[in-house]
């Protein structure tokens, strides 16, 4: 059985260059201690969580609708 790191390395080796670039950007973000969510972004997240709790959402399988 592979360790998590071994599995991650194997997956990265199979990525197309464009996908690998996106993955690298994300990993760099994860390792950056200076990154934090802004107050405005946090407010949007909390608002979205409240909407979900109230059942105000659509699933990907539901058709698109204009709001």
Mean pLDDT of the chain: 87
pLDDT of residue 43: 93
Tokens 């592979």 identify what position?
A: 2
Is-above-0.95 flag for pTM? no
pLDDT of residue 21: 93
Q: Give the start-to-end residue ranges of the domains of the chain.
A: 4-53
pLDDT of residue 32: 81
- Would the CA dihedral through 50, 52, 55, 56 be positive or negative? positive
pLDDT of residue 13: 94
pLDDT tens figures, 20-48: 999 999 898 888 877 677 889 889 999 99
Q: What's the rounded Cα separation, in Å, for the pair 18 and 42?
A: 29
């Amino acid at each position: 059985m592979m360790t998590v790191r071994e599995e991650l390395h194997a997956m990265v080796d199979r990525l197309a260059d464009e996908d690998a670039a996106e993955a690298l950007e994300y990993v760099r973000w994860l390792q950056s201690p200076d990154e934090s969510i802004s107050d405005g972004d946090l407010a949007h997240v909390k608002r979205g969580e409240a909407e979900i709790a109230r059942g105000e959402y659509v699933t990907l399988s539901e058709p698109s609708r204009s709001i």
